[in-house]
Structure 1
Amino acid sequence: MKSTLITLLLLLGYMSQVPAQNVRFATTGQIDFEKKINMYAIIKKTINKDNEGYMQAAFDQYKKNQPQFKILKSTLAFSNDQTLFSPLEDTQKDANGFWGSDPNVVQNNIIFSNLSSQTFITQKKVYEETFLVKDSLRKINWKLTSETREIAGYECRRANAIIMDSIYVVAFYTDKIPVSGGPESFNGLPGMILGVALPHENSSWFATSVKDRPVTAAELKAPIKGKTMNTKGLNDTLNGVMKRWGNYAQAVLKALTL
């Protein structure tokens, strides 16, 4: 009886260690993301006393024919210290009417990030013009919390931050993917960011799947098209073009420089 009990305890001890032995820390692969946009909330923000006569009618018609949330898809290829964020084609753009080209409801950035050199190259489409922005990665002052959430099969820890002086960001990252990247321009946490929510901007990005696989150099090729400039140059250009756009300019600039 005593020997049986000892054997059982040894077996249980071994089994408790097996999962830990099978944990794999992926440093190369592909993540599929979905961006979810609350179209009703975004459109409602554009209605004011100067345009409500026609905008409210257009909004009411939109709600009759279109869902509240728009879904956009993208991929993030990563290998060690490099990532490439690539949006997939927006198949709903035409269905959104004149709101379809609003910078708040599209994904027009192809972003190559070098986490080792802390630099990025972004191909950014702004209406009919394309820019190639090269600069240092955004420094984000993250504050880690104890809250956790499972995303795409990974346990993720929550972090909060404020970027661009006023945008509140909630992110979830996993240290099981020890690459300090994420969707769009979000980075700087001790692991891959699998979820980002911008509560006041009515949008979020969350991973739907993670593929642990080799990534080729071709899959991490930085974009090359567009008028080359740095972040300041882009901001100066956009401010110059939109200075007569009134209050709407601020919302557009925020979306284009996020």
Structure 2
Amino acid sequence: MERDIRFITWTALLLMISHLSYGQNVRFISSGTIEYEKKVNMYAKLAKRITKENSSWMQQIYDQYKKTQPQFKSVQATLSFSKDASLYKPIETNAPSTNSFFSNDPTIDLKKTIYTDFKTDISVSEKKLFEEIFLVEDSVRKIKWKITSETREIAGYDCRRANALVMDSIYVVAFYTDQIPVSGGPESFTGLPGMILGLALPHDNTTWFATKVSDVPIQPSPIIPAKKAKKVNNASLLSTLKESMENWGEYAQEVFKAMML
């Protein structure tokens, strides 16, 4: 009996020491850089564009794409952040163009650089649509997140899942970590009690996941706008897009979504 009591006592002490050691190894950071990989499931995304009206030619394009191109299109981006601000921007590569029918499709890979000021709740983003460059300044989007009990590990950090609906119809799944107590994330997604390291738009077949987090002191710099950038806010941007793409049909709706996210 006495041996059993000693065994239980030592086991409890070892578990307590193990827990304390784990807590000491958890490092909370408030500035640094994060590398994200954005992946688009091209097969699923393009299949949705096939309709009764266009199937005679769109099906052929889709079949040819599957024969010559990979299922997932991947692009890289970085987020530099501090407790006051963040700067999200794509990583430029020297990779040759695939020359596919969809290689320059803005609904798949729209180039965005986004500066978020957490103190003023102002977002400034530079977005290039074909040859037009827009500099969009507006309030940070308010997202009503619903935090769940689901967890997973991303880039070495324990993350918790949250769900939301943005722009009335876009379902979003995010995984954030409170080990980085900065309310930021990839692109324009913010508003959780920690950094978003994983993000998915399930109905748009698109994900962003952190691949590397670097703990470095940094203060993100605001965007230096291109000389020919057109300055707008979200409302005037949407108005401009609707006017210029009035006869683009259903595809225009995809462009609007990509530009406004």
Moved more, 221-230 or 142-151: 221-230
Structure 1 residues 81 and 197: alpha-carbon distance in aligned structure 2, compared to 1, 3 A threshold: same
Give 1:142's aligned residue: 145
1:248 pairs with one of 251, 254, 259: 251
CA displacement at 1:50 relative to structure 2? 2.5
* TM-score where L is the length of structure 1: 0.91
Give 1:113's aligned residue: 116
**What is the alpha-carbon root mean square deviation over aligned residues?**
2.1
Identify unmatched segments of 5+ residues in structure 1.
Answer: none
CA displacement at 1:11 relative to structure 2? 7.0
**Greater fraction of residues in helix:** 1
Give 2:242's aligned residue: 239
* TM-score where L is the length of structure 2: 0.90
* Superposition pairs of residues 1-258 of structure 1, within 5 angstroms: 12=14, 13-89=16-92, 94-95=97-98, 97-215=100-218, 217=219, 219-225=220-226, 226-258=229-261
Between the aligned partners of 1:223 and 1:99, the Cα distance in structure 2 is 29
What is the percentage of aligned positions where both structures have the same residue?
A: 52
Between the aligned partners of 2:93 and 2:236, the Cα distance in structure 1 is 28
Structure 1 residues 150 and 14: alpha-carbon distance in aligned structure 2, compared to 1, 3 A threshold: closer
3-state SS of paired residue (1:197): strand
Q: Say whether the 8 Å CA contact 1:87–1:107 is kept in structure 2.
A: no
Q: Say whether the 8 Å CA contact 2:161–2:174 is kept in structure 1.
A: yes
Q: Deviations over 1:141-195 (max 9, x none)?
A: 1001000011000110000000011100000000000000000000000000001
Identify unmatched segments of 5+ residues in structure 2.
Answer: none
3-state SS of paired residue (2:184): coil
Structure 1 residues 15 and 51: alpha-carbon distance in aligned structure 2, compared to 1, 3 A threshold: closer
Q: Say whether the 8 Å CA contact 1:159–1:172 is kept in structure 2.
A: yes
Amino acid at match of 2:248: W
CA displacement at 1:90 relative to structure 2? 5.8
CA displacement at 1:72 relative to structure 2? 0.7
How many residues align structurally?
254
